[in-house]
Amino acid sequence: MFPKPARVKRRNRFVDYAAYLGVRLVVFIAQSLSMRQSYALADAIAALVYKIDKRHRQVAMENLEHAFGDTYTDEQRDQIVRGVYRHFLRMVMEMLHIPKRLHLTTWRKFITLKGHEPVIERLLKGGPMIMLTGHYGNWEMAGYMFGAFGFPPHSVARVLDNPYLERYLKEFREQTGQKMIAKRGGSDEMLDVLQSGGLLSMLGDQDAGPKGLFVDFFGRPASTFKAIALLAIEFNAPIVVGGARRIGDDFQYLVEVEEIIDVNAENSSPDLIPELTQRYTAALERMVRRDPTQYLWLHRRWKNQPRAKRSKAAA
């Protein structure tokens, strides 16, 4: 007998659509505000969420303690966590304003580029490239900006459970030409992008589960997906690690390239996959250290840990 398939819980279409309408209303209100007013609203919401979201607040405090040890006191860690909530609520507001404010003729008012010259040169020459960032700064901005420049990336993201919100968010993200690829079930599309010499955009700091590749991140083993390194090796695609970091207290960002990792597929060895994975993870860590308040410490990056090897006696 074959095992019975697991039952998929049916979603309430009415609830999903009501949530969608609520989000559209919030977007309408936020887009009618000035940037300063949007920031004020974001700060107020952040202060409220900080108080009621005890679970994620505690996760962030523990992550900071593990990552930085005694570098910060409890009070300083608490201030960083407050800053994390404030940063990401402001980032949400900025995302709503980006389509109206960030264009090919206006981006210089808001964006400063650093280390971008070799990346643009490679894009002009053509060939596959993997653009990698993490849950740091405004990770949505890079994909939007490259699309405005005429180099629309294919960005990998998780599909939302709410189909109405998923469709709306996808349309919003694709306004400048970038295309979205589902994280689950989108492997063939990723291969097609790199096969055709396209630009693939991915997040490289998500927990890969108990079977992931464990590399060092802030002094702790972090389960990391092997797919990024495997794709880079298969298509001989450079991995460009970078991010968009807020500078100052306004809509001003430094979009910086932290490292360009060239892959020599001809001299590949079994150690190349963990080597590449560790290298881009270390680059992400360097960026986070510049401003810990702009990293999503609220998610359980170290959720899975390597299983302790049993000794022969114990076996």
How far from 315 is each of 9, 108, 308, CA to CA, in Å? 41, 63, 12
- Please compute, for residue 102, the number of CA atoms within 13 A of its CA located in the half-sphere on the CB side: 25
* Confidence band, pLDDT 50/70/90 cuts, at residue 313: very low
pTM metric for this prediction: 0.89
How far from 228 is each of 23, 121, 275, 285, CA to CA, in Å? 33, 22, 12, 17
* pLDDT tens profile 170-207: 888 887 678 999 988 889 999 999 999 999 999 999 99
CB proximity list for 204: less than 8 A, separation 6 or greater: 132, 133, 134, 224, 225, 228, 241, 280, 281, 284
Q: What is the mean pLDDT of the chain?
A: 89
Exposure string of 24-36, with b = 16+ CB inside 10 Å and e = fewer, is eeeeeebeeeeee
C-alpha 130/C-alpha 279 separation (Å) is 14
C-alpha 120/C-alpha 114 separation (Å) is 12
CA torsion through residues 88, 22, 100, 201, sign? positive
Range of lowest pLDDT (4-8, 44-48, 124-128, 293-297): 4-8
* pLDDT tens profile 210-244: 999 999 999 999 999 999 999 999 999 999 999 99
Nearest to 225 by CA among 255, 204, 246: 204
Mean pLDDT to the nearest integer, 39-47: 94
User: Is the confidence at residue 160, as pLDDT, over 80?
Assistant: yes
Mean pLDDT to the nearest integer, 260-277: 84
Which pair of tokens denotes residue 305?
A: 């840990």
* Residue 257 and residue 279 in contact, taking contact as beta carbons nearer than 8 Å: no
C-alpha 250/C-alpha 28 separation (Å) is 21
C-alpha 101/C-alpha 110 separation (Å) is 9
C-alpha 56/C-alpha 248 separation (Å) is 26
Q: How is the chain split into domains, by residue range?
A: 15-294
C-alpha 313/C-alpha 315 separation (Å) is 5
- Please compute, for residue 98, the number of CA atoms within 13 A of its CA located in the half-sphere on the CB side: 25
C-alpha 139/C-alpha 44 separation (Å) is 23
User: Is the confidence at residue 147, as pLDDT, over 70?
Assistant: yes
